A and B are shown apart, each in its own frame.
Chain A
């Protein structure tokens, strides 16, 4: 099935609208303690995810490469991966359900933002035709998704700790929020690390060097070290609660800077592909 640029843009906006409806219904359901509304939000999210998947597959067929070249493809696939990972983890750990309050809006914001990046067909350079590209990028996307879930629990912890009233009462106990944030930060850390190592293997295969202190590589390692410091503090220095939540949020911001700012602003070899 061919997908014209106009249809691609329209389909993406349709998905944004469905995600927005999911966010509104879910948030209203949680805030007003209306289970039916909350379930409707999840149905909308599921529908949005199905439509989003179809759009990505059709665009993939149209442009001849996966969603990792143009900035709009990158952001769109990030939004998709957040939704997919959220639903998979929800199936494994039903208690992460409240993270939908941040996972759904993150997805529609990323997808809407992607539409402001001049959607167009980008050519895949010959160096990008490697399975390591998919492993490298895919793992970073999974890492981002798990970090968003962890971020949601850190934010919930801080909100609930300050004022336990209204919808915040429905959230799990503070200790549970804290442990979930810790656990998903661990998932994020390991996916980030493996993604970085996969990039290193690919660099060795393509350029004859496995590490070149490229600014994006360096910031990726800095992020990895910061999450390492966070996990060390939690494990050995028994950091938990408020200060652990704030530290995680700081690490999360660094990871966003690495993924979305450093790769485009710096004189990095990665930035060549994201212009």
Chain B
């Protein structure tokens, strides 16, 4: 057991783990990851790095953060941190009660107790541990525990994050104003941890209204969506989801994503006379002069439909009922046709006649079911507290050793950053010397 403990707490191990983790993260930003790259980008990278494929596939480097070896490294780091935190707590307690003046700098040879106490107090050194042979005063005694707290916070965050990653689940839905989403298991994007089943909505959900509030400069200041959500038994509840404000429903957290805007209902009539209906959801413009954009793949056309829209065709109001939609048909990246429409109008887009039938608001909502976040935030708070205590308020000690004449020989000591407190040390020394004189 002592061997394992020594291995776990070895400083070389903790340093190696820090460097290995940093190295893995560097690799994850050099090799495209499945979680944030498109299949096309990954294929292009693989074609350009044929000689590295065996290594990338062997180690699963396109999905570094879900590899067992990554989890093992994190667990080893968390274990090392946990054991080291216990050691540091014990060391902090030892330092707090220690009266040894080893490494201390002698400031005065003979000072009466009352003078020493008075000088310590005036320099904000607190009396901590008094024995028959010594006096100990410490400035910022809590500083002993800073490093231990920093490490305890990290352990909490790593463990709770692991738990959240294993048990958390979420799903995203794009909803259109006035429409109900009835299928509880169909999402526009979802993910869940290996110990969790896919997320299911408690009941049907309907987007009643999307509200965007603008400031005097026509900039959106708040986006919120009123929704009606059922619990499966026929009861419905009305909720408002707002950007940057979490709503809760039966244990679920509901987030309003930044994606929202106008959805355009279009009727296409192609060269053969066939009619196709499409609804394209385009991102809300940020001002009157700027457009919102979106690219769309149409099942019945080999071309990409690239759309942008301005909030108001008359350039007057961000909440106008007459937005201007500009559509381009792209063959690869080359524009082959273009048309601009307002609601109710039609025009030609290449060989297709297109009519803008109507406009609907849309919004994306994210439903999250996770537990463990309070522990993560508690870990954050402890890290911040520990870090601030450790780096901002390191302790300094003033130790008096009783001499035969009942006066005290005084030592000053800073366990870390000694030279940084040279002025303070000098001030205390001057005060003591004045007393001696």
| Chain A residues close to B by CB (< 8 Å) | 64, 93-95, 123-127, 129-130, 175-176, 179-180, 182-183, 186-187, 189-190, 193-194, 197, 200-201, 204-215, 218-219, 221-222, 225-226, 228-229, 232-233, 235-237, 262, 266-267
Contacts and interface: CB of A to CB of B under 8 A. Distances in A.
A269 B392 CA distance: 33
Interface stretch (B15-23, B53-61, B90-98, B107-115): B15-23
A109 B22 CA distance: 30
Contact of B243 (A126, A187, A232): A126
Nearest to B38: A267
Interface string B276-299: 000000000011001000000000
Nearest to B387: A190
17 contacts: A123-B290, A126-B258, A130-B244, A175-B419, A176-B419, A179-B417, A189-B391, A194-B388, A200-B380, A207-B255, A208-B366, A210-B161, A213-B36, A213-B65, A222-B22, A225-B22, A232-B15
Given A197-B380, A206-B244, A213-B28, A225 B36 contact: no
Most buried by B among A189, A197, A221, A267: A197
Given A210-B373, A229-B18, 13 more contacts: A123-B220, A124-B219, A125-B286, A126-B244, A127-B244, A129-B222, A129-B244, A179-B417, A182-B417, A183-B417, A235-B416, A237-B15, A262-B29
B368 interface: yes
B15 A215 contact: no
Contacts of A207: 255, 257, 366
B18 A228 contact: yes
B52 interface: no
B339 to A, nearest CB: 27
A209 B392 CA distance: 31
Q: Which 8 A-B pairs have the closest CB atoms?
A: A190-B387, A123-B286, A208-B368, A208-B255, A179-B419, A225-B22, A186-B391, A127-B258
A22 to B, nearest CB: 26
Contacts of A262: 29
Contacts of B33: 213
Contacts of B419: 175-176, 179-180
Contacts of B384: 193-194, 197
Nearest to A93: B420
A221 B26 CA distance: 10
Contact of A64 (B170, B217, B253): B217
A201 B373 CA distance: 10
A236 to B, nearest CB: 4
B419 to A, nearest CB: 4
Nearest to A210: B376
Contacts of B255: 206-208
A214 B417 CA distance: 36
Interface in B211-250: 212, 215, 217, 219-223, 243-246
B253 A218 contact: no
A186 B391 CA distance: 6
Contacts of B11: 232, 236-237
Contact of B29 (A127, A210, A212, A215): A215
Given A124-B219, A179-B420, A206-B243, A266 B258 contact: no
A194 B420 CA distance: 23
Bin chain B's interface residue count: 35 or more
B162 to A, nearest CB: 12
A236 B246 CA distance: 43
Contacts of B22: 222, 225-226, 229
A120 B419 CA distance: 47
B269 to A, nearest CB: 37
Contacts of B388: 190, 194
B29 A219 contact: yes
Nearest to A268: B36
B336 interface: no
A204 B373 contact: yes
Interface string B334-368: 00000000000000000000000000000000101
Interface string B402-437: 000000000000001111101100000000000000
B6 to A, nearest CB: 15
A236 B222 CA distance: 50
Given A206-B255, A229-B15, A125 B244 contact: no
Most buried by B among A129, A186, A208, A221: A208
B144 to A, nearest CB: 14
A193 B387 contact: yes
Given A208-B170, A210-B376, A233-B15, A123 B420 contact: no
B309 to A, nearest CB: 16
Contacts of A225: 18-19, 21-22, 25
B383 A197 contact: yes
A201 B157 CA distance: 12
Contacts of A222: 22, 25-26
Contact of A218 (B14, B28, B422): B28
Contact of B19 (A64, A209, A229): A229
A262 B25 CA distance: 13
